[in-house]
Amino acid sequence: MSATTARLRVRPDIEVVGDSADQVHLCLVNHTATFVSPAVTRVVRALVEVLRTPTERDDAVRVVSGSTGAEPDFVSYVLDLLDRAQCLYPVSASSGQENREPLGDFWAAQGNDPTASAAELAARRVVLLVPAAFRAGMAELFDVSGLYATLVAPAPGDPLGPAVEAVRAGAAEGAFALCVWGFPYRSRVAREVMEVALASRRPVLFGVCEGLVGRVGPLVVPHATACLMCVNARLLSTSGSAEVIAQAARDLGPAGIPEPRVSHPAFERAVSGFFVVELTQFLRNEPPASIGGFVEYVFGRGEADRRPVQRAPHCVCCRPALPSRFGWDATFRGPVLATETP
Ligand SMILES: [Zn+2]
């Protein structure tokens, strides 16, 4: 934060509590800052009122010094206290923050400049592959979250090729990341997008709701973290052989866009919201929960589990082909001598 040039403003969630001259509480959504002594509380109250509109630091000090009679150096000191107590946020000169809106208020309540946060997300356009049935819901979530995506939304029964090509084209045009919502992890479309991500070295976030289970992740960093096929291999390793055979048959079956899996509509909407939150974390360089694993939600359970996933040793997707080698039980017989021949 530039304390001398940027305009400052009190965070949008601030609530001034207490009318005592000795003590004033500034309650914010996730913490409370308390200031004591009449000399300080008087200046704090005056600064909060002035900084409800974006104001340059020097102007705020001058106005409050004039209205309270306090020395400018003392007002400046109290303003620093407010800043260190995380009560303020910077406002860009070009910001339209005089007109507040929910997402900008959220960034401001974390102490971020809303204009800079919006610009950061706008610069990181992603490609989103989503079934046609979920297109509208996902577009709305992206809109309220300030995310920008090239949407690829094929319908069930559509051929696989054009959808995967659209994702590949988006990656080639410089998409920051790829996202896949609503396709079963064992479907061919999910696998082919995984291969596009590995080839183009783009991170890819998967998420899906299937029946009673919703999953956000894995967020795959190509050739560094477990890929979707690693996840499938780990999940299949605990299932019966019939399911492994069924998966092999599915891999060889007709290539088309599958029907979305059945799920409770509100559950699907809730988990898709967590998917967008997870993507937001990643795009803002905040620690994502789904890197090297996935977060699992179970309908009606009211809590989530994070499940780490290691890379599978012989993953056909993300492990480079190794030279063939002899099996452990290889045997080498010596030459048979003529004298031993019966
Ligand atoms: Zn893998």
> What is the distance in A from the centroid of ligand 1 to the CA of 197?
12
The neighbour count for residue 185, using CB atoms within 10 Å, is 20
Average pLDDT over residues 312-326: 70
Q: What is the mean pLDDT of residues 311-318?
A: 82
| Residues 202, 57 share a domain | no
For residue 83, CA distances in Å to 22, 48, 111 come to: 20, 11, 10
User: Do 108 and 135 belong together in one domain?
Assistant: no
Distance 242 CA to ligand 1 centre (A): 22
Kindly state whether residues 133 and 213 are assigned to the same domain. yes
Q: Is 59 inside a domain boundary?
A: yes
Q: Both 151 and 14 in a single domain?
A: no
pLDDT attached to residue 98? 53
Give the integer Cα–Cα distance in Å for 102 and 7: 20
Q: Last residue of a domain, which of 114, 139, 173?
A: 114
Domain count across the chain: 2
Distance 220 CA to ligand 1 centre (A): 9
105 and 28 within one domain: yes
pLDDT band at residue 3, thresholds of 50, 70 and 90?
A: very low
* Nearest Cα to Cα of residue 280 among 140, 70, 117: 117
Q: 7: which strand partners?
A: 56, 91
Range of the domain at 282: 124-308
* 32-36, 304-308, 309-313, range with the lowest pLDDT: 309-313
Per-residue pLDDT, 327: 60
How many angstroms is it from 232 CA to the middle of ligand 1?
A: 9
Say if residue 283 is in the same domain as residue 197. yes
The mean pLDDT of 191-212, rounded to a whole number, is: 95
pTM of the shown model: 0.85
Cα(322) to ligand 1 centroid in Å equals 14
Query: Averaged over 276-286, what is the pLDDT?
Result: 96
148 and 247 in a single domain? The answer is yes
Residue 267, phi then psi, degrees to nearest 5? -65, -45
The answer to whether position 130 is within a domain reads: yes
Is 324 inside any structural domain? no
Both tokens assigned to 240: 């019966």
How many angstroms is it from 324 CA to the middle of ligand 1? 19
Q: Among residues 316, 315, 317, 294, which one has the least CA distance to residue 306? A: 294
What's the sign of the alpha-carbon dihedral 53, 55, 57, 61? Answer: negative
Using 50, 70 and 90 to split pLDDT, how confident is the model at 62? Answer: very high
Per DSSP, the residues of 144-185 read HHT--EEEE-PPTT-BHHHHHHHHHHHHHTT-SEEEEESS-T
- Which of residues 114, 140, 163 is at a domain's end? 114
Q: How far is the CA of 160 from the centre of ligand 1 (A)?
A: 21
Question: Domain with 62 in it: what CATH number?
Answer: 3.90.930.60
Q: How far is ligand 1, taken at its centre, from the CA of residue 189, in Å?
A: 16
